[in-house]
Structure 1
């Protein structure tokens, strides 16, 4: 069984070393540097990660798609997605992989069987609203639609490489695409570490997500007509 962890990263030089070192204990490592202007790519390569670099910042979704395409080409069986800012504990990788029996996409949930520690209130509220909407649209009984710590099977990965969104909307559209193709989605509980990490979500991203939400509702309505 061949496993690779894909780490989308943008200006994560302060965390990327420890993240890559932690992941290497469990899988091969691919860092997709999404146009960083710091030493993210160099540091990741120095500790043994394969690095693909976007020469300008395109978005987290674009970085994930680049990683998935590379992993599909290299015939990996499972693709773990993990953020590069140190929020996700690589020690959870075996636990998440253990939930992939009969599952196409598994999401690490910060809300399953526990309350997330130190999660900013605005994140908790936005995640709750988004997760409710995704549940309504897809029928998946999930608790955390926005977590970036995921595992994707070889079977499921090709469905997610053609998604048009390049920003944070991508992770929500993955669930919609999974539902449209009758993929099995599961969850397992994880914990995240919240510190002084940077947020790259801007007003334009919020506007883009609102437009995505409207499109979702229209899609739901058209299916009922």
Structure 2
């Protein structure tokens, strides 16, 4: 683990002339949060908010020592509920861009500008980092083969339904403009893992532009995983959201999560 310093010395987004806030939805990330924070480039981020969702390790104390703004749920409320707190707290500071980054060191936080810059220049409203450019790269980076092929299959279906051509739909490294977060009804969305899918699909339904950028794949022993049972539930929920989107798009059903 990198040395924990009293302050996160990379903070100071004024170098960009725009306010950038990173939010980290955390659960038992004590072993990886310091490494994730250490890789964020200097002079890019104004504030890092970590929301802890009932960790049983030292995630909260480590995050505070790193100089992060920490909010802690008194009990585990779910991944989606965690992100809701992340965005509510971030929006209080009226940021130009909010970056959601898992603190499990699975995503390369050194590439954060690749997500921020297209939003600051007005090219895209939403950006995400894609780990699945080729099968060889994904598997070489440690992604389990089953997870890779499920990502691909479900991704093809999502692309067809949504009319997009993304290489991945399940990234935990995303960036949103303030306008997106202000418009999307994320408080109506799920409290569990399908929240990410609802956010992305709702952004597309609202007409926001979404872009992706390739990032390295890296899976470690300490990388987070939702497990088989929750994974199956997540896939079923994803398909349900796609059906709701299709019905909403064709004016056969009005889904609350797609209302701004």
TM-score by length of 1: 0.91
CA contact (8 A) 2:41 2:110 kept: no
Deviation of residue 64 (structure 1)?
1.3
CA contact (8 A) 2:54 2:76 kept: yes
The separation in 2 between residues aligned to 1:51 and 1:215, in whole angstroms, is 31
SS in 2 for 1:183: coil
Aligned residue in 1 for 2:64: 45
- Structure 2 unaligned segments of length 5 or more: list them: 1-17, 253-260
Matched, 1:136 2:160: yes
TM-score by length of 2: 0.79
Aligned residue in 2 for 1:199: 225
CA contact (8 A) 1:82 1:150 kept: yes
Aligned residue in 1 for 2:54: 35
The separation in 1 between residues aligned to 2:97 and 2:165, in whole angstroms, is 23
How many equivalent residue pairs?
Answer: 225
Judging changes above 3 Å, is the alpha-carbon distance between structure 1 residues 219 and 19 closer, same or farther for their aligned structure 2 residues? closer
Question: After the TM superposition, which of the residue ranges 83-92 and 107-116 deviates more from structure 2?
Answer: 107-116
Aligned CA RMSD, in angstroms, stands at 2.1
Matched, 1:209 2:232: no
Deviation of residue 173 (structure 1)?
1.0
Aligned residue in 2 for 1:115: 137
1:155 aligns with one of 163, 179, 185: 179
Deviation of residue 219 (structure 1)?
4.4
CA contact (8 A) 2:80 2:196 kept: yes
The separation in 1 between residues aligned to 2:78 and 2:151, in whole angstroms, is 19
Question: After the TM superposition, which of the residue ranges 123-132 and 30-39 deviates more from structure 2?
Answer: 123-132
The separation in 1 between residues aligned to 2:59 and 2:248, in whole angstroms, is 44
2:36 aligns with one of 19, 27, 34: 19
Matched, 1:66 2:85: yes
Structure with larger Rg = 2
